[in-house]
Amino acid sequence: MNNTQIKCLAVFAIFAIIGFGPISPGCLIGMYVVMMRPRWFLQLANNLYSNRSVPNLIESKHMRIKAFVCLLTLFIIDIAPVPVTPVIAFIIILSRPQWFHRVIIGVYNDRTLRL
């Protein structure tokens, strides 16, 4: 487990505690990342996947739409009394699946060419 994983787990543990209510901070931040594509999140993802191979690039616009719709769905589901997003985030942070890295690369695809 690398240092970035530990920090992300701590943040999402806090989100799990404060997420018992109508607002899901993890989903809101995720939707912001998909729309604005800040450099800090790309650096965070690169640190999280530092010892993994980089997946193939995929079309950015379609991936951003799919990611936003998924996060919006999670945001709606998270209105329930049990926060779902932090649990999913824990699994992703611990297992670092390649599909999630492909989503990140897809969201940032056209932006990374300009950075």
Q: Which phi and psi angles does 35 have, rounded to 5°?
A: -80, -45
Q: What pTM does this model have? A: 0.78
Q: What is the pLDDT of residue 7?
A: 94
Contact 105, 37 (CB under 8 A): no
Give the three-class secondary structure for 62.
helix
Average pLDDT over residues 91-108: 91
Assess whether pLDDT exceeds 90 at residue 8: yes
CA 2 to chain centre: 17
Residues 6+ apart with CB under 8 A from 99: none
The token pair at 74 is 């999670």
> pLDDT band at residue 115, thresholds of 50, 70 and 90?
very low
Total tally of structural domains belonging to the chain? 1
Residue in 31, 28, 95, 21 with CA at minimum distance from that of residue 64: 31
Range(s) of the domain holding residue 47: 3-112
Q: What is the pLDDT of residue 109?
A: 83
The token pair at 6 is 């530990």
pLDDT digits (tens, 9 = 90+) for 41-76: 999 998 998 877 665 566 778 888 899 999 999 988
42: number of CA atoms within 13 Å, CB side? 16
More reliable by pLDDT, 65 or 23: 65
Average pLDDT over residues 17-24: 75
Indicate the length of the chain as a whole number.
Answer: 115
> pLDDT band at residue 36, thresholds of 50, 70 and 90?
very high
